[in-house]
């Protein structure tokens, strides 16, 4: 059997920035149930980070993370998914966030704010338009021009 080394060495990565009033302990405790309901494959490695500015990564994603921190976003979640493209990792994060919002981590009238980003080439992509204030928080840096909206 011949394997495609590009696929074997590929690691899909994605980032979620979201609000939730629950504590880190409560979110982490609920995460396995959320993963199960969202049918997230076991190979997807998820990390939860309080305060977006603590995110490690390239300069673009760190600038975006700092912008979301400026919006008052509390949480960052990362996904690493071996053997797939970044968009597939982003889809798993979207499933997790959608399921989390249906869980008791959110109150019945609590509004959800969240964005999932993934990189294609040099640009980060998202399906949900970030708030315009993010441009001001980033000082209109080129990084925002590279944040693409995929609808």
Spell out where the chain has E strands.
11-18, 45-50, 75-82, 114-120, 123-126, 148-149
Residue 143 belongs to domain with CATH number:
3.30.70
Contact 97, 35 (CB under 8 A): no
pTM: 0.82
List the single range of 36-40, 97-101, 102-106, 135-139 with lowest mean pLDDT: 135-139
Q: Which domain holds residue 126?
A: 5-149
Q: Compute the average pLDDT of residues 125-134.
A: 72
Residue range 46-103, pLDDT digits in tens:
999 998 889 988 888 888 888 888 888 999 999 999 999 999 999 999 999 999 999 9
Point out which residues pair with 97 in neighbouring strands: none
**Total tally of structural domains belonging to the chain:** 1
């Amino acid at each position: 059997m011949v394997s495609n080394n590009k696929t074997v060495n590929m690691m899909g990565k994605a980032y979620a920035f979201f609000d939730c009033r629950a504590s880190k302990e409560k979110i982490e405790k609920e995460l396995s149930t959320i993963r199960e309901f969202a049918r997230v494959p076991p190979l997807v490695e998820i990390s939860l980070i309080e305060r977006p500015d603590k995110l490690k990564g390239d300069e673009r994603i760190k600038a975006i993370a700092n912008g979301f921190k400026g919006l008052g976003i509390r949480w960052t979640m990362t996904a690493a998914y071996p053997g797939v493209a970044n968009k597939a990792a982003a889809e798993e994060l979207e499933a997790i966030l959608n399921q989390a919002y249906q869980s008791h981590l959110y109150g019945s009238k609590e509004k959800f704010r969240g964005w999932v980003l993934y990189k294609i080439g040099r640009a980060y992509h998202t399906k949900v338009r970030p708030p315009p204030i993010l441009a001001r928080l980033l000082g209109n840096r080129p990084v925002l021009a590279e944040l693409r909206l995929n609808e």
